[in-house]
Amino acid sequence: MDVYLSARHVQKKYGETVALQDASLELCPGEILALLGPNGAGKTTLIKILATVLAKDAGQVEILGHDLDRHMQEIRHLFGYVGQDTERSAYARLTVVENLHFFGALRGMDKRQVDAQIEKLAAYFDFGENLAKQFVHLSGGQKQTVVIMRGLLHDPPIIYLDEPTKGLDPIIAKKIRAFLKRFVMQEGKSLLLTSHVLPEVDELADRVALIHRGTIPIVGTPDELKASVGATESVEIERATVPAATLQRIERLEPVLFVQERNHHWVSFGVDDAMAGAEAIIRVLREDNVRARFRHHTVSLEDAFVHHIGELAEKFDQ
């Protein structure tokens, strides 16, 4: 399998704070790879290093045969980068077309090249009717679309998106994800995105790299990561009202495959048959005269994160 980007044992500290401890990943041609982790996991630091915005302290990065330390200028032509600061990524009083022409000129593109790319990208993002509007008058989702178009303007083979739908209305976010998926698939691009939004990762990613405290312990397809949990369904009980002896009885039930403490408030029991598992658990609660809140869900990437990381201090966005 060819590799467009290879990062090995990347480290970064801010003073005494360790942002990246030992992060490694690979991005392959034509794939969408998602860095999934809660806030503070090191996602933005890693993508900024790959985008040459930050200098790493240690490790090796190679992009399309170029070493990051020795060929930084060459590498900067090989990717498009979209950070989180949308408002400062374009000039407020310029129109969309004027902004894109300005940034295209900074990259050495002539008017004909920029116009051709604007036409193509506007078609992909269904954005033609907004091209003549000033940036300041666009909605949040429209502004983010312009910034993404700016990152794609020079037709790079690799695209970095840092939380591309953060703060957007869910319907607008879903629309942008659909546009991105279509663009990457039809244009043969490779996309690396950071996210802590589970539907975004499930919808977009071919592979997912779980990141936690500056390390990436596992990478796999969404289905592979979910399957690694060892169950297809989960029945959870609020632990505050359930005695330890009752929890131990539930753990020994035949339908229960494993027990997992998601946090201090809920205990999760993995099952393959939600109906049989719930019935068996409810029977034990009744026998022990225990009233407890419980809930059920299909195993998700959040379950995979807890399974491999062992903890989850902050919930993902659903």
Helix (H, G, I), strand (E, B) or coil at 103: helix
Length of the chain: 318
Closest to 24 (Cα-Cα) out of 1, 50, 53, 2: 50
Angle, CA of 191, 107 and 48, to the nearest 5°: 40
pLDDT tens digits, one per residue of 52-68:
999 999 999 999 999 99
Instruction: Collect contacts of 276-279 with beta carbons under 8 A, ≥24 apart.
Output: 277/233, 277/235, 277/253, 278/235
Return the number of other C-beta atoms located less than 10 Å from residue 71's C-beta: 15
Least confident of 10-24, 34-48, 300-314: 300-314
In the sheet that holds 294-298, the strands lie side by side as 258-261, 266-271, 233-238, 294-298
State residue 196's pLDDT score: 83
State residue 40's pLDDT score: 86
- Buried b / exposed e along 224-254 (16+ C-beta atoms within 10 A): ebbeebebebbbbbebeebeeebbeebeebe
pLDDT band at 38 (very low <50, low <70, confident <90, very high): confident
pLDDT band at 1 (very low <50, low <70, confident <90, very high): low
**Phi and psi angles of residue 11, each rounded to the nearest 5 degrees, phi first:** -130, 145
pLDDT tens digits, one per residue of 173-182:
888 999 999 9
Residue spans of the domains in the chain: they are 5-220, 227-309
pLDDT tens digits, one per residue of 260-296:
876 678 888 999 998 999 999 999 999 999 999 988 8
What pTM does this model have?
Answer: 0.88
Report yes or no: 318 and 300 within 8 Å, Cβ to Cβ: no
Report yes or no: 137 and 172 within 8 Å, Cβ to Cβ: no
Return the number of other C-beta atoms located less than 10 Å from residue 301's C-beta: 21
Angle, CA of 124, 129 and 131, to the nearest 5°: 80
CATH class held by domain 227-309: alpha beta
pLDDT tens digits, one per residue of 179-195:
999 999 999 999 999 98
Return the number of other C-beta atoms located less than 10 Å from residue 85's C-beta: 9
CATH superfamily of 5-220: P-loop containing nucleotide triphosphate hydrolases (3.40.50.300)
Helix (H, G, I), strand (E, B) or coil at 33: strand
Mean pLDDT of 83-104: 94
pLDDT band at 225 (very low <50, low <70, confident <90, very high): very high
- Buried b / exposed e along 102-123 (16+ C-beta atoms within 10 A): ebbeeeebeeeebeebbeebbe
Q: Return the C-alpha torsion angle 279, 281, 287, 288, nearest 10.
A: -160
Q: What is the separation of C-alpha 41 from the centre of its chain, rounded to a whole number of angstroms?
A: 12
pLDDT tens digits, one per residue of 105-143:
999 999 999 999 999 999 999 999 999 999 999 999 999
